[in-house]
Structure 1
Amino acid sequence: MSTETASGGFALHTESMTGLHWLGVATAVVSGVIHLWLAVSFIGESLGLGIGFLVAGVGFLAGSAAVLFDYRRRAFYALGIPFTLGQIVIWLAVTPADEYLSPIAVTDKLAQVILVVVLVVLFRRAS
């Protein structure tokens, strides 16, 4: 399961990925990009909120990279479930109710709900 090549570089290992894997990567990338965009948007307004969005965005993209490079996929499935559920809970706690149905929120939360379902299925299959 090493992602390192003979020349010392790293290579993608996508040959074992199924459509479900690709769906998970796609939804994680969507959420990661949205969070990075929100980080840039909020950094001047609220440093704490901007940093929180930055950490979340990097987390989603790092998890996607781990799956693409076949680096401890099962561990990342297991970590991704509470990480993503935590994002949903935090969003519910801090977002005003009138912003729940904004296009960016709907896109992000739909991607995250799909991601959680995908991660649960992948985790169970990897057992």
Structure 2
Amino acid sequence: MATSETQRLSPDVASLDSLHWVGIVAALVSAAVHLLLGVRMLPSGMGISFVLAGLGFLGAVGLIVLNYRRRAVYAVGIPFTLVQILLWYYVNFVSLGKSFPADIGTLGAVDKIAQVVLIAVLVVLLR
């Protein structure tokens, strides 16, 4: 049932500025890393969690492009991404006893840089 109050979801890239695009690229980088690593680890629980995290980043990008509740996506994206960083640190350097920063690895470094950039962008966009 279509009414004047019903909005169609369609891309709204005209309303995205350069800061949005930096955040989108950062989220896509993190999504790609999570999906790549997650698929490699399937069917383990860790693999499933990585795939879900990657899909979470992709879903958020989709919501931003569709201009669907952007402020809510920014607000949820900050703790979501921060938890990713904290879990990564805990799993790798507390649980597995890797040496920080020597054992970060290329994918870990790329992902964490993208996530720090993403958090900074989200904070600015939310303000």
TM-score scaled to structure 1, two decimals? 0.86
In structure 2, relative to structure 1, the CA distance for the partners of 1:100 and 1:62 (3 Å cut) is farther
Instruction: Confirm or deny that 1:82 pairs with 2:85.
Output: no
Q: Could you say which residue in structure 2 is the equivalent of 1:92?
A: 89
SS in 2 for 1:58: helix
Q: Could you say which residue in structure 1 is the equivalent of 2:65?
A: 68
Deviation at 1:14, TM superposition (A): 1.0
| Count of equivalent residues | 116
Question: Do the aligned partners of 1:28 and 1:61 also contact (CA within 8 Å) in 2?
Answer: yes
In structure 2, relative to structure 1, the CA distance for the partners of 1:3 and 1:100 (3 Å cut) is farther
Deviation at 1:16, TM superposition (A): 1.0
Q: 1:29-48 to 2 correspondence within 5 Å?
A: 29-44=28-43, 47-48=44-45
SS in 1 for 2:15: coil
Deviation at 1:101, TM superposition (A): 2.4
Separation (CA, whole Å) in 1 of partners of 2:92 and 2:60: 25
Separation (CA, whole Å) in 2 of partners of 1:20 and 1:53: 26
Separation (CA, whole Å) in 2 of partners of 1:30 and 1:101: 17
Q: In angstroms, what is the RMSD of aligned CA positions?
A: 1.5
Is there any run of 5+ residues in structure 1 with no aligned partner, and where? Answer: 5-9
| Letter aligned with residue 31 of structure 1 | S
Instruction: Confirm or deny that 1:49 pairs with 2:46.
Output: yes
Separation (CA, whole Å) in 1 of partners of 2:50 and 2:29: 13
Deviation at 1:100, TM superposition (A): 4.0
Separation (CA, whole Å) in 1 of partners of 2:91 and 2:120: 23
Percent identity among equivalent residues? 43
In structure 2, relative to structure 1, the CA distance for the partners of 1:51 and 1:20 (3 Å cut) is same
TM-score scaled to structure 2, two decimals? 0.86
In structure 2, relative to structure 1, the CA distance for the partners of 1:38 and 1:3 (3 Å cut) is farther
Separation (CA, whole Å) in 2 of partners of 1:60 and 1:3: 24
4+ runs deviating over 3 angstroms: none
